[in-house]
Chain A
């Protein structure tokens, strides 16, 4: 059949659910799929690291969450499984995420470097016992891991069965052809748009500078971060930086579904050693994986808008507002995403939420939801308006505590002349007096009757308003 490449492509799409990747033991990445930008760099690093140190045999599974070994947030567990003699499957599954503002990754939770979770068809009980004994081990973690091992094994078995059943053979030649086609397609998509160079500076409130020189030439993208400062409190791992850059570029040009070694070849990144985009252990990573990623996305979006005048866009509210509410031993992490930027021909989309239950929130915590809506924005107006962010207004019915983290780029980057900024993230408190704005990140106790207003950012507007 001439259409083996299409069959391979659809097999990868069907098999890779959630944040996952499939690669060969030789290091060729066949495909990466996922919603999170960092996935596009971290998963392959995780697989490479695990394969290098653990020598995985068919059926073996390695576990890690260490951001410096290819993990992302510590609450997200990365599993690397050898599904056959020459194929590695990497997948990431999330546990309950807590927001902690600390000075070291070790304080963020249990950090797991690549560990052999399953070897010779046996779960490694010794490692499970050791992890369970750690004070930061999440509750019921071992049971959860055992369930995951069972599920991974079943899925891997189904993959092998599906391939065998249809008589499909994934040869080295087929992989080579597929990667070559993906590279060609990515190059072509980039070549179809304008080429050029742009420089963007984004300053984070925490003091870091992000300097990006983006060059697009002959269907290739080159990103040079020379001039980017060292980390103060925000730090991103090298693989997360790569993933975010690739995701932003591939989304812009429309080849995210072709993410693999072939299309990775169109992107070249230069980073000075010691800058905050090449974070080093033991720097904490939560801020980097959230606000740092958002700052990087903003810089790339701005640089692309400068080069592609015909497809100018304003700036989206990339950074979600993270608000971790705690009462007793319960906590609930609320993530309010921002609105999308307006483009030269349309309004930006308004933010939407991953649904959660307001009623359950009120049952579990001493809060009353006063309002949840898309926020009325003052910023982001123009011929086309930026998408509205979200607003959640809560009244405390008893004392409760919260930790929050919002956009760290309140020092807004310079935009193109046709574009305007949307409203930034805000956390406001009213306690009998006038409303007071809280800092972009913090942790504090709130008293009974305090009213908190949480607003995620809105997207930037495009063009002059006709009024």
Chain B
């Protein structure tokens, strides 16, 4: 199934400059595994070497954070949108 990934503007330069990617996968984990192959710099900006989502990155499926769903194992349905944003943190 195909889902849309919508990226923070801070990540556009890692994937050709656009805000959206169309990727296939039945779960967030499957989608990210495809990203790791197709866009390794983008993937490495979202997940660390252990495969975990970076602590200050938020991943949403539609409007829900995957931290409130099943994390990387959150299941997807056709037409879902994965939004990747930096958290509100810093100083």
**A and B from one complex:** no
